[in-house]
Structure 1
Amino acid sequence: MNELIPLTERDGTQAVLGRDLHAFLEVSTEYRHWFPRMVDYGFTEGQDYAVKNDRVQDSLGREREATNHVISLDMAKEISMIQRTEKGKQARAYFIECERRVKSSTPAIPQTYAEALRAAADNAERAERAEAEARALEVPAKSWGTLAAAGGDYSVAEAAKTLSRDPNIRIGRDQLFAAMRDAGWIFRTKGHRAHWEAYQDKAINTGRLVHKLSRPFLNERTGEMEQPSPTVRVTPKGLNELHVLLGGSNQSALEVAS
């Protein structure tokens, strides 16, 4: 396998440098602006990536410090998918193959009878676990096309869980908010009561999202009734478009059961 992107190691596992991935993906945005936007999809420092300061030379040969990041292959795969480009697809496939090769590497030969017994038990357990995982993934992959929504809509958390039924998608509530922001569906208001709102033209009028209004409540501090901020909810149409946008395994239209 050709090394498309150089790999490194972090805590004994395969990893990749953020700047190497950024260069391969041919992202036009500068790295210092691009990487924080990727982190907004819900990644955590210390768990998904670590900061690494590099010494680099500029075009005049002067040394300076540049911030880099060591990122896990799971994070690298998700970042690659988010780009929605051919380069992103290549990178994701490459990382999957790198992981597969590590997992399929030949284990050490048992040296004693006790070690052989443990190895046999471990192999049986792994085979049973793999079979169970395959059965679990088979249902979501086949059943995505039919979803009992009864014409209703979904909270963003519910939509994230539904999308994650697809084995090609792993996304949480905050990551889904960030994905809809990048798609131009929603924006974040400012002020002490900042919240997400949907764009009228690109999200509400197109039937992708709806606003749900809650009941007014009494502000005990001011003694006045206040109207809570609207809640963004995802329609079945919006859910289907998000499924396609996020690279779901079955790109057919979502069939909503009545």
Structure 2
Amino acid sequence: MNQLVFIENNRVVTDSLTVAEVFGKEHKHVVRDIEVQISKLHEAKEHEFVKSNFGLEIFKAKNNKEAKKYLLTEEAFTLVAMSYTTPEAMKMKVRFIEEFKRMRAELEKQKQPFKLPTTYKEALLQLVEQVERNEQLQLQNAQKDQIIKELRPKATYYDLILQNKSLISISKIAKDYGMSAMKMNQLLHQLGIQYKQGDCWLLYSKYQDKGYTQSKTHTIDSETSKMHTYWTQKGRLFIYEMLKNKLGILPLIERDEQTA
């Protein structure tokens, strides 16, 4: 299978047939996995997410009978493939994510045909627009690079235990220290752990594959989405050690114990 993702109706998608072939699964099992996720999303009242990211189609199977398949956006694919965790499956997920990124850039080119400016003002506006597009693509690429590296950490028994615990936002971690999320983000930047690009905080490369964070994309509307980074319990312990050992900053509960 050469083409993992493709453009359909002005969107970058893959489908359940491709997923089944690449991951070496029966198509009916992939359809089952997809419908499990759709059911859970409906239970969570995420009806718009289902509508925007999953597309049901009917096709003729090899036995000439009608069968159903699903079109999947990158967000839908990520949800469905989350449970595919063998080393080979992880490689395939990385390939899919990289192909989504490449095809999205291709779609962006198609949407923005080059037009020769006729005035100095038009030329200047085109330059400003191109700079803004480049900055947006750079941000998207940095976000995808973080997600790809988050898929790669080696799973130890300790890591597997931590994965069963809930993710936590930076604002909740900051609350443990009696500070704002803004202040906590600045401290992590001061320690060389993360940097800001656009309005997102992203881990520096050397920390991206340690299993400290998980990134989720939240749909704002049918055309807009935003990535949020959540910290794992392993990441929370990492922040604790760094603040304690590098800056001498303790959480409130330990400060209270020392005072007592």
What is the TM-score with the length of structure 1 in the denominator?
A: 0.46
- Specify which structure has the higher proportion of helix: 2
What is the TM-score with the length of structure 2 in the denominator?
A: 0.46
- Specify which structure has the higher proportion of strand: 1
Structure of higher CA gyration radius? 1
